[in-house]
Every structure is written in structure tokens, then in C-alpha cells.
């Protein structure tokens, strides 16, 4: 796992499978962020076919929701599908979203799929580098805002709820030079650290793995099973910012379909009861990168958690934060 040859081999030889047809989601409420297109939309369509009571999909632009809603419902008339607006660049938007989630009667499954792959240095409305803001800071805050709803449902239902954060196999491949900085997240805002091509995107996917592992260590798996997943290299709008012809060659030669990538997301979300704090790829639990598992990786994981919490408490004072037992 993790090497280029292993990546090519897996893309060529493994074909993701859909959920078992008899998998019932009756009575469940499911939340998916970033599901108006691409892998998230395919995951939403597959989950809808298993008849949950309610499917909530988040979008930044509500106008794009209606077309996606028609696809999700498809032949599944009677499924309640709602599109909620949330902007990962706005702490106020995420905070309002969190309060709306907490008001739900239940939340059984949450798939945090929203993300970007920005190939050039840009800053978000919050002032942070855009990949870091959307993929790490925004995702982390969303996970904290919805966690109480997942815990509440688990206590009512008498079984664990589920939270899956989408990462990437690319977390194996980056040097993460910023890890030695006095403040890692602050250093990643410096344009000079952005790197070439996909380095910054892959670094934020590493941050997803570290955040997921630390969050899982603070949450009882009998209440919420928290994991992270690599959906594979797939045809998707995620690649829209890449301008070179190389990506087209790779997509032609290696890519899975968006539907197959969606299968990986749904599998991580509803299967694998032993996956708390774990990383999934090719629809099974596998070790993350050697760095993640190293002593240095463990220390950086704690550092990223502390820096992120400090940043969020400072920049998102209106948000509510769960209390974790040490």
C-alpha cells in the first residue's frame, strides 16, 4: 500500500463493489456533505436505494440541489431528501448548520465528503490557504458540530452511529515539510510552502487522517464509529483545476468510475464495525502511511489537534465544542 506501483496495481485489478442488496437502512437518517455531484452524488444515490427514512445532502449553491435531488430519488419514491446549505469557508455557516443538525430527531450516519483540489495558491474568505480551509479546518469544524447529534442518536438507538471522513491514498506520498514548524497550520498559510501540483491537496488529506485518528481516540466507539476512507482515483469534478494533459492520460489508463468511488464511500460508512479510528482503502481496513503510524506521526497528530482546536475557538467563537474526557 502507498507506493506508486501498488496504486497502479490496485486501480487496475480491484473493482469496488456496491453494498449488498439486502442491506437495509430503513428508519435511518443520513447526512452527506458535498453530494450534489461526483462521488458524493453517486454515494447518495446508492444509499437512497437502501431506503433510509431521510437523506440530507449539503451544498454551497442551493440552485444546484434540485437536479441532484431528482437523480438521488430516481426510482426511490418516498425517500425524504433535503438539501441544506453550508459553506466551509464561513464559520457562521457551519455553526448554523451544526445547530440545525442537532435539532434533528436522529442522525445515524454522516459522510464528510466535501473538499477541493486547488492547484494554485489561493486564500479562503477566512484568510487561510484554500485547500487547508476547506479540506481540513472546515471539515474538522463540521465533524465537531455534528458529533453531539450522532452521540444522541446512539444513546437512543442503543447502537453506534457512524462518521466517515474522506481522505486519499495521496497522504502516503507527500513530504509534509511543514510538520516541523512551530505552528503547522500557520506555516501552511505561507505561499512559499504551497509546493508543486497536488502536494498541498495531499497534505490536507494527511491532515484528515490525523484528525480522524485523534477524534476517534476521544470518542467511545460504542457511541460513534469514526473512520476515514480512500475512495480511489476516479473520474470526478475534483480534477477540474488540473490543466495539464497528464491527468487525462492517468484518468484514461487508471481511473475508476464515479460510481465505483461512491461504492467505496458507502462501504466505509455502513460496513466494517471494527474500523473505529481506522483507514480504509479498496473496501477494507488497511494501515495508513508509515509516517502516521510512527512516533513522530503520533506527536504531529496531537499537535494538529491542539492547533486546530485553538484556531477554531479563536475564529469560530459562536460554535459549540464537545467536551472530551482526557
Whether 308 contacts 190, CB under 8 Å: no
Q: Measured over all CA atoms, what is the biggest interatomic distance in the chain, rounded to whole angstroms? A: 54
Give the CA angle between residues 254, 256, 262 to the nearest 5°. Answer: 155
Q: What is the CA radius of gyration of the chain?
A: 18
pTM: 0.94
Dihedral, 291, 295, 297, 300 alpha carbons, nearest 10: -160
Split the chain (326 residues) into runs of 10 and give each run's mean pLDDT: 76 93 97 92 95 92 78 84 94 97 98 93 96 98 98 97 96 95 98 90 97 98 97 71 62 81 97 98 97 98 98 96 84
Per-domain boundaries in the chain:
4-314
What distance in Å separates the CA atoms of residue 121 and residue 309, rounded to the nearest whole number? Answer: 24
The confidence score (pLDDT) of residue 289 equals 96
Q: Which residue do the cell numbers 480491484 mark?
A: 14
Pairing label, strands 224-230, 54-59: unpaired
Strand partners of residue 164: 111, 227
Q: Which fold has domain 4-314?
A: Rossmann fold (3.40.50)
Sheet of strand 80-85, all strands in order from the earlier edge strand to the far edge: 80-85, 54-59, 29-33, 109-112, 161-166, 224-230, 279-281, 284-286
The confidence score (pLDDT) of residue 247 equals 66
Whether 40 contacts 33, CB under 8 Å: yes
The confidence score (pLDDT) of residue 244 equals 61
What distance in Å separates the CA atoms of residue 223 and residue 226, rounded to the nearest whole number? Answer: 10
Whether 58 contacts 139, CB under 8 Å: no
User: What is the set of active-site residues?
Assistant: 168, 201, 205
What distance in Å separates the CA atoms of residue 160 and residue 163, rounded to the nearest whole number? Answer: 10
Whether 142 contacts 33, CB under 8 Å: yes
Amino acid at each position: 500500500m502507498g507506493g506508486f506501483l501498488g496504486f497502479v496495481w490496485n486501480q487496475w485489478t480491484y473493482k469496488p463493489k456496491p453494498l449488498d442488496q439486502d442491506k437495509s437502512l430503513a428508519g435511518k437518517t443520513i447526512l452527506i456533505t458535498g453530494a450534489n455531484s461526483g462521488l458524493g452524488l453517486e454515494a447518495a444515490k446508492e444509499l437512497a436505494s437502501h431506503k433510509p427514512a431521510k437523506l440530507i445532502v449539503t451544498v454551497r449553491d442551493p440552485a444546484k440541489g434540485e437536479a441532484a435531488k431528482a437523480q438521488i430519488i430516481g426510482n426511490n419514491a418516498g425517500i425524504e431528501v433535503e438539501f441544506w446549505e453550508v459553506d466551509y469557508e464561513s464559520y457562521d455557516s457551519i455553526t448554523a448548520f451544526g445547530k440545525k443538525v442537532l435539532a434533528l430527531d436522529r442522525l445515524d450516519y454522516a459522510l464528510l465528503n466535501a473538499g477541493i483540489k486547488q492547484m494554485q495558491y489561493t486564500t479562503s474568505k477566512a484568510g487561510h490557504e484554500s485547500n487547508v480551509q476547506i479540506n481540513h479546518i472546515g471539515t474538522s469544524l463540521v465533524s465537531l458540530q455534528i458529533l453531539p447529534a450522532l452521540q444522541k442518536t446512539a444513546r437512543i438507538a442503543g447502537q453506534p452511529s457512524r462518521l466517515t471522513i474522506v481522505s486519499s491514498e495521496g497522504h502516503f506520498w507527500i513530504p509534509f515539510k511543514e510538520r516541523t514548524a512551530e505552528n503547522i497550520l500557520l506555516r501552511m498559510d505561507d505561499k512559499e510552502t504551497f509546493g508543486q501540483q497536488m502536494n498541498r491537496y495531499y497534505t490536507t488529506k494527511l491532515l484528515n487522517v490525523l484528525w480522524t485518528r485523534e477524534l476517534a481516540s476521544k470518542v467511545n466507539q460504542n457511541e460513534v464509529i469514526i473512520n476515514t476512507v480512500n475512495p480511489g482515483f476516479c473520474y470526478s469534478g475534483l480534477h477540474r483545476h488540473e490543466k495539464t494533459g497528464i491527468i487525462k492520460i492517468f484518468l484514461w489508463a487508471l481511473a475508476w468510475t464515479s460510481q465505483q468511488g461512491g461504492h467505496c464511500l458507502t462501504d466505509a460508512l455502513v460496513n466494517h464495525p471494527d474500523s473505529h479510528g481506522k483507514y480504509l482503502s479498496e473496501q477494507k481496513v488497511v494501515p495508513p502511511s508509515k509516517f502516521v503510524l510512527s512516533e513522530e506521526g503520533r506527536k504531529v497528530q496531537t499537535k494538529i489537534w491542539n492547533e486546530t482546536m485553538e484556531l477554531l475557538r479563536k475564529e469560530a467563537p459562536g460554535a459549540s465544542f464537545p467536551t472530551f474526557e482526557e
